[in-house]
């Protein structure tokens, strides 16, 4: 039996019903989070839940649960569904109301749901590296909000999939922003560059963890936007996300990066990131080094 959370209660999945006029369904009027679970424990859950509250606040939704309440509910759900390695998906919408673009009455109850999923670590891809395409970033100008509206991201990802690639690297004009569901980094002469955390990208939790790791280990990381030209001439390119962790990109639009194999910096960051996971969640069973 699978359980989900609906408005603060853990219930059976087939008993969870959402109204057809929920604003999440009608408009994508809400925000979400994806949190990684390793060894039955959430990784960086505080950071994710804080971002959830912030994203909601940015669109005028106030989350009716404290971070502690949400964290404890999610922990119970993981336990009940017996998830060792997977993800928790959490979303909140502006609730149910007759369809109208303007916000409903402020007292309209929000709809919050969460569910778990068993998800392996993409260790094969992490070891071999993945291919990417370049595509124009056609999204709105508040990409810092983890909005349910993901059409721009979906179109970009689908284009990548149809080209036999793992990710789409988006750019606004000459400037590289981020992946369709990841942040993007380049390495040049030992320094890592990534787009600043402004309105044009989602400030990834994995990205933030990488920044911390780099600062602890004296690895130079600069938040500075870079061009397509710099991307194509980088020593290494990598992406980061909750589910993909630290993923080397070894081919962009058919052009090999670092001779088509993951570089030393990418491998080092993967190792350091795994060490972080192990501090919070205990020893990992499979690491890319073992495959
Ligand atoms: N940028 C975008 C557009 C994203 O959707 C994501 C994560 C990231 C960056 C990386 O952020 P995190 O490091 O916090 O994951 N996307 C989530 C998603 O939709 N599925 O998995 C992760």
Does some domain include residue 290?
Answer: no
Give tens-digit pLDDT for 149-169: 999 999 999 999 999 999 999
- Report the catalytic residues: 146
Does some domain include residue 208?
Answer: yes
Q: Minimal CA–CA distance to 206: which of 242, 174, 172?
A: 242
Ligand 1 pocket test, candidate residues 52, 169, 182, most atoms within 8 A of CB = 182
Give the pLDDT score at 291: 55
Does some domain include residue 203?
Answer: yes
Does some domain include residue 44?
Answer: yes
Does some domain include residue 289?
Answer: no
The rounded distance, in Å, linking the Cα atoms of 209 and 186 is 16
Count of CA atoms in the C-beta half-sphere (13 A) of 94: 25
Give tens-digit pLDDT for 247-285: 999 999 999 999 999 999 999 999 999 999 999 999 998
Residues lining ligand 1, judged by CB closer than 6 Å?
34, 153, 178, 181-183, 202, 204-207, 240-243
| CATH number of the structural domain spanning residue 103 | 3.30.470.10
Give the pLDDT score at 289: 55
The residue among 103, 118, 133 that closes a domain is 118
Question: Per the structure block, which two tokens stand in for 55?
Answer: 């994203």
Identify the bridge partners of residue 132 per DSSP, sorted by sequence position: 167, 252
Give tens-digit pLDDT for 181-205: 999 999 999 999 999 999 999 999 9
Structural domain containing residue 9: 3-118
- Split at pLDDT 50, 70, 90, the class of 235 is very high
Nearest CA to ligand 1 atom 8: 182
* Percentage of residues of the chain with pLDDT beyond 70: 98
| CATH number of the structural domain spanning residue 175 | 3.20.10.10
The residue among 118, 141, 160 that closes a domain is 118
Same domain, yes or no: 34 and 143: no
What are the Cα distances from residue 199, in Å, to 49, 139, 220? 19, 11, 24
């Amino acid at each position: 039996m699978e359980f989900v959370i609906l408005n603060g209660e853990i219930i059976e999945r087939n008993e969870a019903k959402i109204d057809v006029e929920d604003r999440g369904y009608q408009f994508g009027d809400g925000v979400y989070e994806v949190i990684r679970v390793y060894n039955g424990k959430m990784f960086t859950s505080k950071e994710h839940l804080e971002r959830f509250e912030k994203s909601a606040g940015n669109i005028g939704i106030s989350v009716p649960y404290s971070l502690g309440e949400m964290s404890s509910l999610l922990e119970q759900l993981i336990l009940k569904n017996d998830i060792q390695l997977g993800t928790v998906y959490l979303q909140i919408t502006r609730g149910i109301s007759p369809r109208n673009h303007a916000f409903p009455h402020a007292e309209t109850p929000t709809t919050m749901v969460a569910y778990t999923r068993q998800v392996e670590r993409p260790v094969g891809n992490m070891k071999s590296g993945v291919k990417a395409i370049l595509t124009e970033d056609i999204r709105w100008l508040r990409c810092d909000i983890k909005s349910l509206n993901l059409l721009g991201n979906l179109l970009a990802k689908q284009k990548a999939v149809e080209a036999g690639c793992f990710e789409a690297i988006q750019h606004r004009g000459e400037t590289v922003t981020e992946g369709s569901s990841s942040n993007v980094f380049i390495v040049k002469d030992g320094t890592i560059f990534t787009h600043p955390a402004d309105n044009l990208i989602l400030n990834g939790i994995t990205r933030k963890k990488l920044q911390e790791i780099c600062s602890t280990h004296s690895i130079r990381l600069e938040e500075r936007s870079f061009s397509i030209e710099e991307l194509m001439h980088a020593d290494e390119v990598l992406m980061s996300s909750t589910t993909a962790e630290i993923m080397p990109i070894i081919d962009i639009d058919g052009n090999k990066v670092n001779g088509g194999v993951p570089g030393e910096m990418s491998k080092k960051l993967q190792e350091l990131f795994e060490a972080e996971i192990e501090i919070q969640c205990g020893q990992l069973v499979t690491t890319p080094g073992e495959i």
